[in-house]
Chains A and B, each alone.
Chain A
Amino acid sequence: MADTKKLAIIASQGTLDWGYPPFILASTAAAMDMEAVIFFTFYGLPLLKKEIDAKVSPHSNPAMPMKMPFGSKDFQSINWPVPNIISGNVPGFDSMATKLMKETFKKKGVATIEQLRGMCQEFGVRFIACQMTMEVFGFDKEEFIDGVEYGGAATFLEYAADADISLFI
Chain B
Amino acid sequence: MSEIVSNLELNCEGLNCPLPILKTKKAIDSLNSGEILKMIATDPGSVNDMASWANRTGHELVAHTESAGVHTFFIKKK
Interface residues of A, Cβ cutoff 8 Å to B: 24, 27-28, 30-34, 108-111, 116, 119, 123
How many Å lie between the Cα of A162 and that of B52 in the bound state? 23
**Given that A31-B53, A32-B56, A123-B25 are known contacts, is A24 also in contact with B18, CB under 8 Å in the complex?**
yes
Is B2's beta carbon under 8 Å from chain A? no
- B10 CB-CB contact with A under 8 Å: no
Q: Are B25 and A31 in contact (CB under 8 A)?
A: yes
The chain B residue sitting closest to A31, CB to CB, is B25
Q: Hey, which chain B residues are within 8 Å of A33, CB to CB? A: 56-57
CB distance from A89 to the nearest CB of B (A): 33
Bound Cα distance from A116 to B16, whole angstroms: 12
Instruction: Closest B residue to A27 by CB, please name it.
Output: B22
- Inter-chain CB contacts under 8 Å: number: 41
Contact with A along B20-42 (1 / 0, CB 8 A): 01101100000000000000000
The answer to whether B63 has its CB under 8 Å from any CB of chain A is no
Query: In the complex where A32-B53, A32-B57 touch, is A109 in contact with B15 (Cβ < 8 A)?
Result: yes
Q: Are B16 and A110 in contact (CB under 8 A)?
A: yes
Q: Give CA–CA (A116, B17) in the complex, Å.
A: 11
The answer, yes or no, to whether B70 is at the interface (CB within 8 Å) is no
Bound Cα distance A110, B43 (Å): 10
* A4–B15 alpha-carbon span in the complex (Å): 28
Say whether B14 contacts A27, CB under 8 Å: no
Contacts of A34 in B (CB 8 A): 56
CB-nearest residue of chain B to A111: B19
Task: Name the residue on A nearest B28 (C-beta).
Answer: A31
B14 / chain A contacts, CB cutoff of 8 Å: 109
Return the chain A residue nearest B12 by Cβ: A109
Q: Is the CB of B57 within 8 A of A24?
A: no
Q: Enumerate chain B residues within 8 angstroms of A32, measured Cβ to Cβ.
A: 21, 25, 52-53, 56-57
